[in-house]
């Protein structure tokens, strides 16, 4: 974040500018205490607290009460970079997936720090149980869910296989060995698809597929299913629907 002496023209909405700068700083630097933020930004703690409270209410920032550190939950990413025609096809694919499967359909693209959720469609029954919202960031290193496995396989092929976690049983986290991570990433590359074996701590699992344009990966299409709505036979049907819609998207190129 810029300190005093910055020669940029004044912002017409200084609080908004500082809030966006604060969110971007947290995204790039990980967990930060209020003292850290005051030292790095040069802003008074009282001003930073107001900004952090506003960002937290918007679901963009969270505070770890034990460590007293703030971290970013969202990432800012320009929309429409792929072009309006492709964006429209993605929106239609998301709508169809949500309608046909009853799960939340998501579209992720690679960002600087991981896979970013930039589009989403809810099932027509109007029941919303998936907490991830547009702007949600799945970091390159961390939880290796289906989206992260495909991201590693197709958008970060030279990344290390250490430092990942997963779930050994529904809702029970565990560290993953580099060998396990390597196998999951290899499988995601070979099949172009991945599926979470267990529910995460929010009671959600994902199935995901890479979408290619002109044989180059463009993003990841995913289905996020809530525990109560996902018996095994339904998960298999959803995976087949995801595979079919992905193939149709790629044939339209």
Report residue 125 as tokens. Answer: 């029954």
Same domain (yes/no): 245, 130: yes
Considering the domain architecture, whether residues 131 and 239 belong to the same structural domain is answered as yes
116 and 52 housed in the same domain: no
Read off the tokens for 163.
């430092």
| Residue that finishes a domain, picked among 46, 72, 98 | 72
Which of 72, 92, 113 is the last residue before a domain boundary? 72
Give the Cα separation of 120 and 138 in Å (integer).
15
Check which CATH number belongs to the domain holding 35 and give it: 1.10.10.10
Question: Is position 78 within any domain?
Answer: no
Which residues are within 8 A (CB) of 92 and not within 5 positions of it... i.e. 6 or more apart?
none
Read off the pLDDT of residues 19-64 as tens digits, 9 standing for 90 and up: 888 888 887 777 888 888 988 888 888 888 898 888 888 888 888 7
* Pairing of the two strands 165-169 and 172-175: antiparallel
Whether residues 103 and 146 fall in one domain: yes
Residue 34 is assigned to a structural domain of this protein: yes
- pLDDT digit string, tens, across residues 70-120: 888 776 655 444 567 888 999 999 999 999 998 999 999 988 788 999 999
Q: Looking at the domain assignment, is residue 236 inside a domain?
A: yes
Query: If you average pLDDT over every residue of the chain, what do you get?
Result: 84
**214 domain residue, yes or no:** yes
Residue 246 lies inside a defined structural domain of this protein: yes
Residue 65 and residue 45 share a domain:
yes
Give yes or no: residues 135 and 39 share one domain. Answer: no
Number of domains in the chain: 2
What gap in Å lies between CA 197 and CA 244, rounded to an integer? 21
Average pLDDT of the residues in 126-144: 80
| Residue 1 covered by a domain | no
Looking at the fold, whether 65 and 95 belong to one and the same domain comes out as no
* Secondary structure string (H, E, C) spanning the chain: CCCCCCCCCCCCCHHHHHHHHHHHHHHHHCCECHHHHHHHHCCCHHHHHHHHHHHHHCCCEEEECCCCEEEECECCCCCCCCCHHHHHHHHHHHHHHHHHHCCEEEEEEECCCEEEEEEEECCCCCCCCCCCCCCEEEECCCECCHHHHHHHHHHCCCCCCCCCEEEEECCEEEECCHHHHHHHHHHHHHHCEEECCCCCCCCEEEEEEEEEECCEEEEEEEEEEEHHHCCHHHHHHHHHHHHHHHHHHHHCC
Q: Which domain-ending residue is among 48, 72, 96?
A: 72
Q: Are residues 161 and 123 in the same domain?
A: yes
Measured CA distances, 129 to 36, 202, 204, 224 (Å): 34, 9, 9, 10
Q: Which pLDDT does position 186 carry in this prediction?
A: 95
| CB within 8 Å of 190: residues ≥ 6 apart | none
- CATH code, domain carrying 141: 3.30.450.40
> pTM, whole model, 2 decimals?
0.69
Domain residues for the domain of 43 are: 14-72
Note whether 64 and 89 are same-domain residues. Answer: no
The answer to whether residue 8 is domain-embedded is: no
Whether residue 150 is contained in a domain is answered as yes
């Amino acid at each position: 974040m810029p300190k005093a002496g910055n020669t940029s023209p004044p912002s017409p909405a200084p609080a908004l500018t500082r809030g966006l700068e604060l969110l971007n700083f947290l995204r790039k630097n990980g967990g930060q205490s209020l003292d850290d933020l005051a030292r790095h930004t040069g802003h008074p703690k009282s001003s930073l607290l107001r900004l952090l409270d506003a960002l937290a209410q918007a679901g963009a920032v969270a505070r770890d009460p034990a460590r007293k550190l703030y971290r970013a939950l969202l990432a800012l990413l320009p929309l429409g970079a792929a072009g309006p025609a492709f964006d429209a096809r993605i929106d239609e694919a998301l709508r169809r997936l949500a309608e046909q499967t009853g799960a939340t359909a998501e579209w992720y693209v690679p960002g600087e720090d991981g896979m970013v959720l930039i589009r989403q469609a809810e099932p027509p029954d109007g029941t919303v149980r998936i907490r991830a919202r547009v702007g949600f960031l799945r970091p390159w290193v961390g939880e290796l869910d289906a989206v992260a496995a495909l991201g590693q396989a197709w958008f970060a092929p030279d990344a290390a296989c250490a430092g990942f976690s997963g779930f050994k049983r529904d809702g029970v986290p565990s560290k993953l060995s580099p060998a396990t991570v390597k196998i999951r990433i290899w499988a995601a590359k070979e099949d172009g698809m991945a599926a979470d074996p267990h529910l995460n701590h929010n009671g959600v699992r994902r199935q995901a597929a890479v979408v290619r344009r002109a044989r180059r990966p463009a993003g990841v299409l995913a289905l996020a299913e809530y525990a109560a709505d996902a018996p095994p036979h339904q998960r298999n049907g959803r995976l087949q629907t995801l595979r079919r819609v992905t193939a149709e998207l790629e044939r339209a190129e």
